[in-house]
Amino acid sequence: MKNIDVCLSPELIHLHNLNNTIVVVTDIFRATSCMVTGFAHGVKSIIPVATVEECKKLQESGFIAAAERNASKVEGFDLDNSPFSFMDERLAGNKIAMTTTNGTLSITKAKPTAIKVLVGAFLNIGAIVNYLKSQPYDVLILCAGWKGKPNLEDTLFAGAVTEALKDDFFVSEDSAILAMRAYQQAQANLLGYLMNSSHIRRLQGLGIHKDINYCLQKDLYDVVPILRGNELVIL
């Protein structure tokens, strides 16, 4: 039987052997929710980059560029990190370059050794789960967290995927059990569980309740973003 495990922070990814593993990167508030939304609205590809400088270079070479640091848009870029910005019809058919505080860094950390790297959010969780069931590989959910620290919303997503796969995969590692049990505890009211979380407070300070509610919705979209070379595309 295949294994499913959870990595609660990108700073712990080196502890996992990814040779036979699909990594699902998640950054619920808001990078991977933005990516999923963009693909569902016709974005052709997204190049995730780790630094603002790389993102600027791609912008100068013609990409639409999205750069976020500390939950706010970096000056001089085209898009902020709200999923509603990724519904803009002018993005359809276009390539986007993107850097965020946590999410894109996690993608670049998983890339060198994972069999495949997917991008997951509550918005496409059903599509992700179905794809993982269809594949012969182990699974690791990589939580982007906040500047290296685990966070609640990404842990809950990891737990939701683990819960959905627990009859088809071994759930034997402690981080996966912890995340799954947290999701079981939270699932009746995800927002209630998150109400005191650090990132909810950070986002509420920015006045983006609408984004929070949106990112906690399940299965709005049936897309599975996957990394091909340096680009995320949909399967």
Q: Which is nearer to its own copies, 57 or 202 (CB)?
A: 202
Token duo for residue 182: 């947290």
Q: Does 163 bind its own copies (CB under 8 A)?
A: no
Token duo for residue 30: 């808001």
135 backbone dihedrals φ, ψ, rounded to 5°: -100, 155
Q: Does 177 bind its own copies (CB under 8 A)?
A: yes
Q: Does 173 bind its own copies (CB under 8 A)?
A: yes
Closest by alpha carbon to 223, among 99, 118, 85?
Answer: 118
* Interacting residues of 217 by C-beta distance below 8 A, sequence separation 6+: 122, 123
CA 85 to chain centre: 17
Q: Does 150 bind its own copies (CB under 8 A)?
A: yes
- Return d(Cα 64, Cα 78) in angstroms, integer: 6
In angstroms, give the least distance from the CB of 155 to its own copies: 6
SS3 93: coil
Q: Does 193 bind its own copies (CB under 8 A)?
A: yes
Q: Which is nearer to its own copies, 12 or 233 (CB)?
A: 12
Q: Which of 3, 11, 88, 111 is in the footprint of its own copies by CB under 8 A?
A: 11
Q: Which is nearer to its own copies, 131 or 183 (CB)?
A: 183
Q: Which of 52, 171, 226, 233 is in the footprint of its own copies by CB under 8 A?
A: 171
Q: Which of 8, 127, 140, 190 is in the footprint of its own copies by CB under 8 A?
A: 8
Q: Does 185 bind its own copies (CB under 8 A)?
A: yes
Q: Does 147 bind its own copies (CB under 8 A)?
A: yes
* Interacting residues of 114 by C-beta distance below 8 A, sequence separation 6+: 18, 21, 22, 23, 140
Closest by alpha carbon to 22, among 115, 112, 109?
Answer: 115
Strands 138-143 and 72-73: unpaired
Q: Which of 20, 148, 187, 189 is in the footprint of its own copies by CB under 8 A?
A: 148
Q: Which residues bind its own copies (CB under 8 A)?
A: 8-9, 11-12, 15, 146-152, 155, 171-175, 177-178, 181-182, 185, 193, 196-199, 201
